[in-house]
Amino acid sequence: MNEKIRDIAARIKGLRLLSGLTPEEVAKVVNVTPEAYSQYESGEDDIPVSLLNEISEFYKVDMTEILTGISPKLRDVCMVKNGEGLRVERYDQYEFESLAYKYAGRKIEPLLVTLRPEQSPELVSHKGQEFNYCLEGRMKVTIGREEYILEPGDSLYFNPIKPHKMVSLDGKNARYLTVILL
């Protein structure tokens, strides 16, 4: 089991215990089965970013705190130098880099995402709104039954409640900026 996944799972379990809730109660709130929630909390399964966001909203803590164990402190300005974003590896095909993880009380989550061509990810959905801006390579975005090809400079704004996924094309990595309204 990946040590980072185990650490995140322990923080989620700690939040639940501090709140005096059962795993079943939290599973119901975040709309997953009690079995799936138990796997997330024990570190047996990796937790999707969208679910981490729901859990952070439920406990009224910043997602950075769940990911790192450190509470963000900045409230007026947050600068993150190139390559110094908080890396969040949630799926084999995606590498997320949080670009505002130090800013407390974020209303949006800007992430630099690298898509790896090895595998095709599963469809995901989450609340809010999502904006994607292709920086490098080519990528296919599937939203529901529609497919969109993005090349550098292309953007897409959509309702992420609809199941969606991003796939790199041409056997190469693709990079894009995603901004998610929380």
For residues 135 and 166, membership in a common domain is answered with yes
Q: In this structure, which amino acid lies at residue 29?
A: V
Q: In this structure, which amino acid lies at residue 82?
A: N
What is the band of 158 on the pLDDT scale with cuts at 50, 70, 90? very high
For residues 101 and 18, membership in a common domain is answered with no
pTM reported for the whole predicted model: 0.70
For residues 94 and 154, membership in a common domain is answered with yes
In a domain, 37, yes or no: yes
**CATH number of residue 159's parent domain:** 2.60.120.10
Digit-coded pLDDT (tens) for 95-154: 889 899 888 888 898 999 999 887 778 888 888 899 999 999 999 999 999 999 999 999
Of 88 and 4, the one with more pLDDT? 4
**Token pair 């406990």: residue:** 59
In a domain, 41, yes or no: yes
Question: What DSSP line would sit under 81-142, residue for residue?
Answer: -TT-SEEEEEETTEEEEESSTTBTT-SEEEEEEEE-SSSPPPPB--SSEEEEEEEES-EEEE
- Residue 35 makes CB contacts below 8 A (sequence gap 6+) with none
Of 106 and 179, the one with more pLDDT? 179
Number of independent structural domains in the chain: 2
For residues 61 and 111, membership in a common domain is answered with no
Digit-coded pLDDT (tens) for 37-78: 999 999 888 887 778 888 998 998 888 888 888 888 767 888
pLDDT surpasses 70 at 178 = yes
For residues 107 and 154, membership in a common domain is answered with yes
* Segments forming the whole domain that contains residue 139: 86-181
In a domain, 122, yes or no: yes
pLDDT of residue 95: 84
Of 88 and 174, the one with more pLDDT? 174
What's the rounded mean pLDDT across residues 14-29? Answer: 93
pLDDT of residue 1: 47
For residues 105 and 168, membership in a common domain is answered with yes
pLDDT of residue 171: 93
Q: Which of 14-28, 117-131, 147-161, 164-178 has the lowest mean pLDDT?
A: 117-131
Residue 104: count other Cβ atoms within 10 Å of its Cβ.
13
